[in-house]
Amino acid sequence: MCATLPPPCAFGTMHEAVTRAVDSLELSSGLLHKIDHNPLLRGLLVVKNRISFALTALLLIALSLPSFIFAQSAQTPDRKANDTSRFPPNVAPRAARRVARDPAKTDATAGIEHDFAEALTLVQENYVDGNNIDYNTVFKSSIIGMLRSLDPHSNYYDSKEFDEMRTEQRSEYFGIGASISDRRIGNKPDDKSDTYIMSTFENSPAARAGLRYGDRIVAVDGQSMRGKPSGEVRDKLRGPRGVSVKITVERASNNQPETVEITRDAVPRPSVPDAYMIRPGVGYIDMTQSFAYSTSDELQAALNKLQAGGMTSLVLDLRNNPGGFLDQSIKVASKFLQPGQLVLTQKGRNRGSDRPYQARTENGVTPDATTPLVILINQFTASASEIVAGAVQDHDRGLIVGEASFGKGLVQSIIPLEYNAGLTLTSAKYYTPSGRLIQRDYSNVGLYDYTYRGGLGRQAEEDARAAQTAPSTGAESRTDGGHVVYSGGGISPDDAVRSRVPSITQLRLLNVMFGFVRELVNGRISGFDSYKVQRAIEFNHNLQATNFPVTDALYKAFKDYVATRTSVKVTPAQLDRNRDYIQRQLRHEVITAAYGTVTAQRVLVADDPQTLKAIEVLPRARDLAMNATRGRTSSPGQTHLNLFKTGDLAPL
């Protein structure tokens, strides 16, 4: 089973999911009254009805194929080495119409296939551009339109998309092993963005080839990448394992072109990229990626490391985690709960299909049910990560800090189809231990509004953020200790703290800050030779406050640099008002160049308001864990009177 949410646009590619949701077969209501008086419209309505019927049949045929549970099996469908198809071959409908029925097929199946081919023939004969129809697009958009009428999370994937989805669920991909990003550092208003190397990964092909922070990607296999978005460049860099790719870069160190040949290899994508002591005795674990095959094992390794280092309390960061495998979420929750405690209940369409999942001991490792625990969540914490947060909250095992989570309480079965395509079809709902269904309402709302909570504009963003810290209003439930929690709208935090979101002015500074640091680390900012980073990344560095601090002198040098960039429309007063942000981001960029993206993330976490709040409430989390252990024999509500009715808590 897969309990996952596509990554959000602000942190990934959720926007791609929105653009896939095209229902091209709906007739507008304004045409309906004309149908009876127009033979052509009547013919088109017949086409629509036939196609709708055929699409229903396609789904039934798809469901007759065996679904597989990713969390319990690493097997994937066989894929031919030279298969590049994304959908069934684009066969002309007339030819399909003449194909004799296969006697081995049922009459219903053969009839549906015949009717579908006939419907497409009518489209070809009557549609104004019938000779130029892309049948792959017709098939795909039709199926997606049908699935979208069910719920926002059932989806169809062509072969490329299905392969990408499965890659997201693995802990590795095949490529060169570098993070890239779009940046525009030219000084002319019409200069285009280019793609730059931001960092390489440890032991990756890109690291071995000597790629560095700030190298501009000029061409891939002889094809120019100038002005291309980083997503398009990424697709060119990824490919089959063992196949080489020639990359022409403009070196940041000397601005000279150089071509390197790199053999693609497996690149790890850890779901627990970092774990360290954020304060003496306080461990911090970064689980902001996803729940993949190896998440439970990676988390256990991180816990072992921190416990060996003297950890006495823990902050677990699930912000922006889109979810993943259901089985992995159960294993993760089991590390903090007593064996036998309920993690979730899965309920399908049929009576008798309800299935409870309890915490269990894995590989003989005793769960840690007493270490003070605070979990960080935000509006992009979804699905499998919500299962963990909900189980911890309902059993009063730890405190939840941040913003209300996304609110995805649906579980999808992953169904492989022919031609390496696939379906994710909602097959169950899950309920937290207290009986909450956290699924956000998706009735009478489009996919865009559901995904982005009303839009991406500044006012819509502010409204969404306000809703994230507002009390829930769904059906009431109670935790083990009597704390009131609510269904619908995701997991509400015990302590609501807004996330730190950059302003428009701050976002406009990203390009110029990158350009400045690119000059700085290559020794082209006079007087700051100690900031030169002309070496390979020093991975696994234990970051110290003395590493590349942004001093008053360096901040002034940045302001002087901005003054020379006529394309940057920002005043010195605006810079000063945003000095904290600028200094944080400048240091983040330098640390990225010196120690890599994982270590650089620590710069942003260090003074993050939600993280600071999590550290602040750890004493309460300690009392909560102790009371939860003792409170199994207490009356409901008795153990929480002093923990949840304090003046500094937002209403729940």
Q: Is 408 labeled as catalytic in the residue annotation?
A: yes
Cα separations in angstroms, 650 against 378, 402, 588, 621: 15, 11, 32, 16
**Count of residues making up the chain:** 652
Which residue from 594, 602, 608, 584 is spatially nearest to 506, judged by alpha carbons?
584
d(CA 599, CA 591): 7
Residue from 271, 294, 383, 499 carrying the catalytic annotation: 383
Residue from 394, 396, 494, 608 carrying the catalytic annotation: 394
CA–chain centroid gap for 613, Å, is 24
Residue from 228, 335, 408, 613 carrying the catalytic annotation: 408
Whether 271 contacts 298, CB under 8 Å? yes
Three-state secondary structure call for residue 79 = coil
State the alpha helices, DSSP H only, in 38-175.
39-64, 93-98, 107-126, 135-148, 159-169
- For residue 341, what are the β-bridge partners? none
d(CA 50, CA 196): 50
Whether 382 contacts 5, CB under 8 Å? yes
Element (H, E) at 357: strand 355-358
DSSP 427: E
DSSP secondary structure of 401-420: EES------EEEEEEE-GGG
Whether 377 contacts 385, CB under 8 Å? yes
Three-state secondary structure call for residue 481 = coil
| Cβ contacts of 34 within 8 Å, gap of 6 or more | 41
Q: Is 83 labeled as catalytic in the residue annotation?
A: no
With tokens 């790199």, the residue in question is 262
Tokens of 306: 């921190």
Which residue from 318, 295, 76 is spatially nearest to 171, judged by alpha carbons?
295
d(CA 174, CA 412): 26
Whether 438 contacts 409, CB under 8 Å? yes
Residue type, 301: A
Task: Count how many Cα atoms sit within 13 Å of the Cα of residue 368 in the half-sphere of its side chain.
Answer: 16
Whether 237 contacts 227, CB under 8 Å? no
Whether 241 contacts 174, CB under 8 Å? yes
Cα separations in angstroms, 428 against 65, 380, 475: 18, 21, 20
Tokens of 214: 């700030």
Element (H, E) at 274: strand 274-279
Triad 365, 368, 372: Cα angle to 5°: 160
Residues with a known catalytic role: 383, 394, 408
